[in-house]
A and B are shown apart, each in its own frame.
Chain A
């Protein structure tokens, strides 16, 4: 490390891995943590206080489904008291009007609601949860009625991309401030379902056009964030804004990870927030140090001008696809493995989709 360490800005708090939905692209690990190991209310509130002290500004209350925690109201209150801007990342399951009222009163700042499709039947099929779509519509209505800002998050893939126009129209109808059109990133459950979810190149190109024209048409009405698909890309994404540069992810049992998929990297040692102060973890936890900055890089990243912009892409993708986390992310056209990626995507997306493997404990 040559540069001075900046303080972290965001906390991704995976409150629980429990979730009644079974999305086949869930970013939770295949080995889901059980309720028994979950941090207590007091332990989370302490993490929030420490977060505020070291410069974290936003907390993303995520999961699993965070509303599966009976103490969600107390956790939102704890985040607010720690001065954090709180974002609830929810599937809508477990949120009633009265619960949302209590969350708003506790100081919740923003709700991000995921949808699986604009088509109710397909949405419920993808989520593996009957009636889920209608619940989401109700939740969106309650969120807006409370005056809370709403982001709709739509993970897109081969089995819903042809309805992207409808998804955008739905977000507008729901009064969302933002829409995230997020091409599925193939880690964890999504990797296990890649052949069923991988879009075709035509679908990708079309999605880029649709988003571009919607952005123009809906200026000031709906902000659309677009998460580009890696497999057909030329440049990788700066995953997490760079390893150990701004974000701390805490798992339900308190492990501090530099990225939610970091547990797929062999040999990394994680600290637990119950055992070590967050400031120390940020400064010197071995997992955070492992790929911080640029010293760990090999060629072609080591001598590349873009290395301080994209930090060599995603470590977990490099691991999953090349077998070594310190390699260049193959999403980059300079990676010697780059050609395989698009070829794989093209061949997988040309086959009839395999049955979905649902996320289950």
Chain B
């Protein structure tokens, strides 16, 4: 093992810890780089591929995730869905914020 490897260890280890991503209405989340939203042609459904996990998001979740581009805020996404479904934006925001927070807590979203 190289001396340089030994030295780098402590440093890398200390600075690399992850922080929790806490979402608010003004956050603009996107899918984490290591997560893929994909249409599964064999099963005819949307799936979310993540490290050693495969989720089958609900229709709503798929629509929300397709809008999570790192530019649109959660509030803006709720607004778009509200217009599309002629539903109150507040109610939609109240639905999608916990959904996104849950995905963030599993490490599937990034800022």
Interface residues of A (CB under 8 A from B): 7, 9, 54-55, 57-58, 60, 85, 87, 109-110, 112, 131, 134-135, 137-138, 140-141, 144-145, 147-149, 151, 170, 172-178, 219-223
Contacts and interface: CB of A to CB of B under 8 A. Distances in A.
Contacts of B42: 7, 54-55
Contact of A141 (B16, B19, B51, B106): B16
A85 B18 contact: no
B33 interface: yes
Interface in B23-44: 32-34, 36, 38, 40, 42-43
Contact of B1 (A135, A148, A172): A135
Contacts, number: 102
A58 B54 contact: yes
Interface stretch (B5-13, B66-74, B75-83, B88-96): B5-13
Interface of B: 1, 5-6, 8-9, 12-14, 16-22, 32-34, 36, 38, 40, 42-43, 47, 49, 51-52, 54, 104-107
Nearest to A109: B34
A178 B36 CA distance: 17
Given A58-B52, A138-B1, 20 more contacts: A7-B42, A54-B42, A55-B43, A112-B51, A112-B52, A134-B5, A138-B8, A145-B12, A147-B33, A148-B34, A149-B32, A149-B107, A151-B52, A170-B13, A172-B17, A173-B14, A173-B17, A220-B22, A220-B105, A223-B105
Contacts of B19: 221
A220 B105 CA distance: 4
A60 B36 CA distance: 16
Contacts of B9: 134, 137-138, 141
Contacts of A7: 42-43
A343 B78 CA distance: 57
Nearest to B51: A110
A319 to B, nearest CB: 27
A214 to B, nearest CB: 14
